[in-house]
C-alpha cells in the first residue's frame, strides 16, 4: 500500500499566517513561483487537480513548503500546502514513478475528487478560519496584510535609500534591501560604466536581496580577466553586471535561487564582431566569457541602467509591488536618480527593455517609444529575439 493511502494529522503549515497571506494577496499561475516570506520559502503554482510537479518539488528546500491552488473545472477550489518533510513522508513515492517522474510529463496527479486519503490533511479552504495554534504562540510575519496605498509620496525623494524606504513603508513586504547591498549593486554597475555613454539600455530593476546574500563571496582568482583594467568586487548581488549572478561556480558559498539571466542574449548580441569577444577560447569559463562581453560593451559605450533603484522582484520572480505602484516607482526613480547618471553623455540611442518599463516611462524626455525590446523570457521568445535583432542593427551600424 502506498503511504498516501494512509491518513495523516493536520498539516503543519496550512494555518501558518505566511501561507494564508500569500494565498490572499498573490495570484497563482501555472508557472512555478519561488517566494520567500519572513523566512519561509514557498514554492507555489496553480493546477486543475492535485498534481505534484517535479520542477516544483525539486525546488522545495528542507525548511520550505509546496503550495498549490487546486482549481478544478467543476467544483470548489482549495489550497494544498505541505512542508518538505511532510511531502516526503506522505507522497515521497511519487518520485519513484519512472513513467511520470523521470520523463514527460514529469508529474504525478489524481483526478479531481479522487485525491488519496493523505491529501485531506493538507487541503484547506481559504474562507475557513485557521484552527487555533499551539500554546507556543503564532508566527507573526514582519509585514502587514495590506499595501498602504494611502500614504502620500514624499515631498522630496532624498537619497536612493530614503526613496526605497518610503515605498517599502507603503508596501510593508517581506524585507528591505540593506544599504550595503544597494551600495554593492551600484559598485558592480559602475564598474562597467563607459567613460562616454553612447547607447543606453533601460531595464526594470535589480533583484531583491535574499537572506545570506551578504555572506556570498564572488571569487574570480584563477579566472583569466587580465584584459580588465579594474579590480573585480567580491560582493554578490542579483544584478546582471555581477559576474557571480547566475554562475554558482565562482560563488562561495553557492547562493540560493541563482538562476542565469536571459539578459546575456542582449549583451552577447551587442558585443558581436569585436576581437576580444570573438577570440574567447572554447574552454573559457562562463566568468571569462561574460567579463569579455562586458568589457566590449564598456568600450563601445553601451550601458544598462535600471529605471528603478528599488528591486521590483524577489528571487524566484515574485513581484515586490503591485503593478500600479511599480509604474509610479519606475517613473519617479528614473526621473530623480537614473537620468542624472547619464546627463552630459553623448547619448545616440536609448532602448527600453520591457513593455511595462516603456509604458511607465512614456512621455519622459529621451525615451523613444519606437526603441522597445520585450522583456526576455521563454513565453515571448520570438518577439524577444526580434527585438534584440532590431536593437543590434540600430546600435552596431553606429559604431
What is the residue-level pLDDT of the chain in tens, covering all 399 positions? 688 988 888 888 988 888 988 898 888 999 999 988 878 899 999 999 999 999 999 999 988 999 999 999 888 899 999 999 899 889 998 998 888 898 888 999 998 888 999 999 999 988 655 544 333 332 222 332 334 444 445 545 678 878 887 887 765 544 568 889 999 999 999 999 999 999 999 999 999 888 789 999 999 887 878 778 778 999 999 999 999 999 999 999 999 889 888 899 999 999 999 999 889 898 899 999 999 999 999 999 999 999 999 999 877 676 778 788 889 999 999 999 999 988 899 999 999 999 999 999 999 999 999 999 998 865 678 899 999 999 999 999 999
Q: Which pLDDT value is given to residue 379?
A: 62
Q: Please write the tens of the pLDDT for every residue from 131-168.
A: 443 333 322 223 323 344 444 455 456 788 788 878 87
CB 328 within 8 A of CB 152: no
| b/e map 60-88, b = 16+ CB within 10 Å | beeebbbbbbbbeeeeeebbbbbbbebbb
- Count Cα neighbours of 241 within 13 Å in the Cβ-side half-sphere: 24
Buried b or exposed e, range 198-230, using 16+ CB within 10 angstroms: bbbbbbbbbbbbbeebeebebebeebebeebee
Q: Computed from CA positions of residues 245, 250, 254, 259, in that sequence, does the dihedral angle turn out positive or negative? A: positive
- Give every CB contact of residue 35 below 8 A, 6+ residues apart in sequence: 22, 26, 41, 42, 43, 44, 314, 316, 318
The C-alpha cell 509591488 sits at 321
Question: Which pLDDT score is estimated for 173?
Answer: 44
**pLDDT at site 150:** 42
pLDDT tens digit string along 335-377?
Answer: 999 999 888 999 999 999 999 999 999 999 999 999 999 988 6
| Residue 174: predicted pLDDT | 46
Does residue 199 sit in helix, strand or coil? Answer: strand
Q: Which domains does the chain have, with CATH numbers?
A: 3-124 (no CATH), 162-396 (3.40.470)
* CA dihedral angle for residue 82, residue 83, residue 88, residue 91, rounded to 10 degrees: 0
Q: Are 52 and 108 in contact (CB under 8 A)?
A: yes
**Burial class of residue 384 (count of CB atoms within 10 Å of its CB; 0-12, 13-18, 19+):** buried
Look at residue 143 in the predicted model and tell me its pLDDT: 31
Amino acid at each position: 500500500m502506498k503511504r498516501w493511502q494512509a491518513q495523516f494529522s493536520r498539516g503543519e503549515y496550512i494555518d501558518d499566517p505566511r501561507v494564508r497571506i500569500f494565498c490572499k494577496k498573490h495570484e497563482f499561475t501555472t508557472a512555478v513561483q519561488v517566494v520567500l516570506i519572513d523566512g519561509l520559502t514557498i514554492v507555489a503554482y496553480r493546477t486543475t487537480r492535485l498534481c505534484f510537479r517535479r520542477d516544483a518539488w525539486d525546488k522545495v528546500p528542507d525548511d520550505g513548503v509546496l503550495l498549490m491552488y487546486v482549481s478544478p473545472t467543476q467544483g470548489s477550489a482549495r489550497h494544498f500546502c505541505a512542508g518538505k518533510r511532510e511531502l516526503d513522508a506522505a507522497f515521497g513515492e511519487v518520485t519513484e514513478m519512472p513513467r511520470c517522474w523521470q520523463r514527460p510529463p514529469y508529474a504525478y496527479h489524481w483526478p479531481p475528487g479522487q485525491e488519496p486519503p493523505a491529501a485531506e490533511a493538507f487541503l484547506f479552504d481559504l474562507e475557513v478560519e485557521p484552527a487555533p495554534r499551539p500554546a507556543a504562540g503564532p508566527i507573526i510575519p514582519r509585514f502587514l496584510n495590506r499595501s498602504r496605498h494611502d500614504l502620500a509620496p514624499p515631498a522630496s525623494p532624498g537619497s536612493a535609500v530614503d526613496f526605497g524606504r518610503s515605498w517599502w513603508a507603503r508596501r510593508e513586504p517581506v524585507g528591505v534591501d540593506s544599504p550595503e547591498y544597494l551600495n554593492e549593486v551600484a559598485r558592480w554597475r559602475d564598474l562597467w560604466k563607459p567613460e562616454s555613454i553612447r547607447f543606453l539600455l533601460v531595464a526594470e530593476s535589480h533583484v531583491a536581496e535574499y537572506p545570506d546574500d551578504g555572506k556570498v563571496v564572488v571569487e574570480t582568482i584563477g579566472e583569466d580577466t587580465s584584459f580588465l583594467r579594474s579590480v573585480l568586487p567580491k560582493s554578490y548581488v542579483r544584478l546582471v553586471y555581477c559576474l557571480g549572478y547566475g554562475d554558482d561556480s565562482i560563488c562561495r558559498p553557492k547562493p540560493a535561487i541563482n538562476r542565469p539571466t536571459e539578459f546575456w542574449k542582449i549583451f552577447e548580441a551587442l558585443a558581436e564582431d569585436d576581437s576580444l569577444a570573438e577570440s574567447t577560447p572554447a574552454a573559457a569559463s562562463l566568468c571569462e566569457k561574460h567579463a569579455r562581453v562586458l568589457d566590449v560593451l564598456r568600450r563601445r559605450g553601451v550601458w544598462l541602467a535600471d529605471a528603478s533603484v528599488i528591486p521590483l522582484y524577489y528571487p524566484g520572480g515574485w513581484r515586490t509591488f503591485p503593478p500600479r505602484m511599480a509604474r509610479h516607482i519606475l517613473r519617479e526613480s528614473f526621473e530623480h536618480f537614473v537620468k542624472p547618471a547619464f546627463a552630459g553623455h553623448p547619448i545616440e540611442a536609448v532602448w527600453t527593455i520591457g513593455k511595462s518599463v516603456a509604458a511607465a516611462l512614456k512621455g519622459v524626455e529621451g525615451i523613444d517609444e519606437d526603441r522597445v525590446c520585450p522583456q526576455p523570457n521563454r513565453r515571448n521568445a520570438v518577439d524577444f529575439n526580434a527585438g534584440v535583432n532590431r536593437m543590434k542593427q540600430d546600435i552596431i551600424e553606429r559604431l
